[in-house]
Chain A
Amino acid sequence: MSDLEARLADLRREADATIFVDVAVTPELRERVVRAALASADAAERVQPVRRRAGTRVVRRRGAGVVAATAGVVLVAVLAVVQVWPGGTRAASAALTVKPADARYLVAIADPHSLAGSTDVVVLADGVSDRIPVEIDSASALTYRWSPDGRRLVFGNRGDLFVFDSTTGRTTNVTRTPRRWELLPSWSPDGTMIAFTSRPLDRGEGPPPEAPASLDWVMVGAFGGNPTVTRIDGRGYRVVSDETTTSAPTWSPDSTTLAFASDGVVEGDVPATASNRRDGTISLANVATGAVRVVATRLGRGARYVGAPTWSPTGSELAVFFSDSDRFPSRDEVLQGHAPAVRQGWALLDLDTGDISVIHSYEAPFVPRGPARWSDDGTLLALLLRQETAIAEPSELLVVRRGGGPPVLRLPGVFSHVDWEPGAHRLAARDDLRPPSVVLLGVGDERARVEQLRFDGEIDGLAWRAGNGS
């Protein structure tokens, strides 16, 4: 046994005597946990009943672990483990036989090498799976998006954006900016351009000076940056606005305009995060001319924060996240349970009239949320509430109708990477409480179907692929 092996065998004693010598559960921490558990139970009680009329019940299937409820009718939640991938993701890829019942082209990106290892991009379709021959060897790639025709996949790696063409099998670096990090890509609806955010590398990002290959290329700084566009062959890289934003710029359906919320930075207590520089406005940037129009949202009643816009398929509306306050609770307020609750939620902004209609609101300590996701036909929106701080708050996935009213579906849990199936009313989301798995939610008029797909390895992201992908 080498000296190192001997020391590692004794790591427990050495670490306990050194780095962990003061790391133990304190009475305060224990009390905090109990308080949070009780608050969590209260919050769960608050979010579960969704009743429009007497007689509506919430279904809880013991063991299935899924609670689903709907307005007016009971959703039958079916939690089905469709297939467990065999161990050893890379070696097992050829044998994958995952086939959700009427699956189309769900793409899951499994990352068996965790934080900074290589990522495998896997296509699941009609009972077969194919590994896409692309290299992803850095962490925090975060976003994967298929082009509207299902031919190309854009993804991030080592701070740049790459486009994989499934027809030619070639992958192209479309940004090539060694000192900038591009994130949050989205395709123009006509499939000719990609919009994203771009920012300078933060300290600690980029290739480490003595690193062999790809180790340690991890994100240190923030999401977001300047709204930027490029053509899909990598030409025409252009920063559209010197304003910055922390959510993905969203395309108008005619591919001429980008909408984004201009963000600044809040200093002070935790969490350090972004907030609007202008109160309650959305910026619309003409991609061809660069001209930016600032739209007041008329949210009124003192609403200060507006962010995460997403354009409706019809082009006449933007869904935005809003909050009556943009003040983040302090750490003390959070830990002591005194964080002030403010009204926040998602609303629709009519771009022709400036009218606002709230589609879902709630009261909780301020935390900016991600964008609402429109179904292709523009009738449904998926809203994601995740616990973003130590605040004990509801964590759930909601589906609401564009016209408002009670949620069509409400699924408590911790989810991410929410994406609608093209042309359908089915959602996919990473289930972060049961990793590594994906939930598929088929949203019908009166019933919803919940399926759960389990994977071997981490799921770094997922995206539906339109069409047949060929």
Chain B
Amino acid sequence: MNKLQRFFPGLQSYAVLYLVFLYLPVLLLPLFSFNDGTIVAFPLKGFTLKWYGQLGEADTLIQALFNSLFVGAVSAIVSTSFGLFAARAYARYRFKGREVSEGLVMLPLVIPGIIVASSMLVLFLSIGLQPSLMTVILGHVFLAIPFAVSIMKSAFDEFDQSLEEAAFDLGETVVGTFRRVTLPIVAPGIIASLLVTFTVSFDEFVLAFFLSGNQPTLPVYIWSQIRFPAKLPSTLALGSLLLLFSVLLLLTAEYFRRRSTKSSV
């Protein structure tokens, strides 16, 4: 260890600098959202909350927010159900095609977004589905499945098979065992998966941009706002609130994920 320490004396300072690089753009939004001026530049002009006040009056924003909450909630529930079943199958059963299936469900992570978006748009219109929140949900479930599956997989990894067998032996039914033994044990994993998949959907832009038609989600709304310099400060305020919201959700998810795996990473 000492030799390595001498070899990389600046490694720790590099790590700290890297964190600054990672956090700089993210922390800029809240900083300038309180700035009493429409131009995002130094020096700061003074403290104000008026940009946050303006958000409450924007009706299209509120509508887009509800659209996003709806899409996120439905996508989270559907993708987590898929993930729960699939992870259970991978952890518990040996079957033909398991590895192919495990690889396939990760595919959405590595297909460029624009290709997913354009091909789905063409598909949905070909089968007569007009762009709407429905089509956005179909797309977001697709994107969220890899996250749901991998979180649920780690939840099942630690799962002790003999608990289920014991429940069977003591006379529980299949459904009863699942509800009273399996489900409570993997529940933290389910909550973590719901929160993460919700966040994936809530923040997603490109697919929603192609598939939302005239029902914009929040990122699509933001996209329409960032072209107008006059709207800039309130967009920053909105962004800061979203940032806070996402981080809170993710910290909650992390807490539950920890509880579900019980292992220190």
Is B one of A's binding partners? no
Q: Which positions in B face A, CB cutoff 8 Å?
A: none
> Which positions in A face B, CB cutoff 8 Å?
none
